[in-house]
Amino acid sequence: MKISPYAIENIVPFITGDYYPPYRSGQELIKLFNNNGFRDVYDENGLPDIGKRNRQRPSRKEYVKSRLILANDKNGLREILTLMINELNLIEVNLPRLNEILSPEGYNIIMNGESFLVQGGTIDRRKPIVNHAQFHDIQDRILIALDRTKVSIRLVMAWFTNETLLNKLLELKGRGIDIQIAIYDDGINRKYGVDLSRLSCTMIKQGKKGGLMHNKFCVIDNQIVITGSYNWTNNAEYRNSENITIEFDPEQATRFSEEYRKLTT
């Protein structure tokens, strides 16, 4: 496995854990690389000499970068990255970011059973699709995804009674996020629904086939789709068995954005 100097530079923080947990101490970094063919020793002066001027010992970042360079174009690099990936907290941002780094190099991180592996060796310039299915703590997952919004939100929801999610939308509006909502115009929303008067909201009287407007989806930045059985209601959060999928797929997001437009025009 061989990757570019750019990829090495950008993978270093994932291994040190400075920005992407878990944080690794010098001793832990030594162990990671020694498990993959190195013979380094952490002594009273710190990390091993890598040839810096005045025999100065390296920082954690400098050490990791030097070892990745030495492992590059060898089988050990794949093993190092695989071990690192499976110790990461691969939340919604971390995995897409890693794939953004590795995909132009011809590699992608994929799920293999309950673990992750680095796949590839041929260049695939398509942006990787990543899906996360959630069955528990759904409100918290939605809040995390919403909090990363940079530009826009398009929300279609059959029923909306959850004040926590409303307050997050109002907070995002205060940051300048373009938020547009469509909900079902029925007795439940009129009687128990949240107050959407401070947001741009379209009331939909029925579905396109004449029945319920039963959609439940949220498009973030035309890049991410949140969809599933989960209405943004208190019953969905605290009583029902529900699910959502968080899809990092720009083409899919565009399809849902188009459906939002059709429902509201």
Q: What is the mean pLDDT of the chain?
A: 88
- Please indicate whether residue 60 or residue 121 has the higher confidence score (pLDDT): 60
194 and 138 in one domain? Answer: yes
Quote the pLDDT of residue 161. Answer: 94
pLDDT reading at 127 higher than 70: no
Whole-angstrom CA distances from 113 to 77, 110, 171, 244 are 22, 10, 38, 20
For 99, the domain range is: 5-126
58 and 117 in one domain? Answer: yes
146 and 88 in one domain? Answer: no
243 and 168 in one domain? Answer: yes
**The one-letter amino acid at 122:** T
Using 50, 70 and 90 to split pLDDT, how confident is the model at 259? very high
Average pLDDT for residues 103-111, to the nearest whole number?
83
Write out pLDDT tens, residues 41-81.
Answer: 999 989 999 888 878 999 999 999 999 999 998 878 888 88
Write out pLDDT tens, residues 80-96.
Answer: 888 888 887 655 457 78
Q: Which stretches of the chain are assigned E, i.e. beta strand?
A: 107-112, 115-120, 130-134, 152-157, 178-184, 200-204, 216-220, 224-228, 244-248
Quote the pLDDT of residue 242. Answer: 95
Domain endpoint, select from 76, 111, 126? 126
pLDDT reading at 141 higher than 50: yes
Quote the pLDDT of residue 123. Answer: 44
HEC letters along 184-246: ECCHHHHHHCCCCCCCEEEEECCCCCCCCCCCEEEEECCCEEEEECCCECHHHHHCCCCCEEE
How many domains does one find in the chain?
Answer: 2
- Evaluate if pTM is beyond 0.75: no
Average pLDDT for residues 167-190, to the nearest whole number?
93
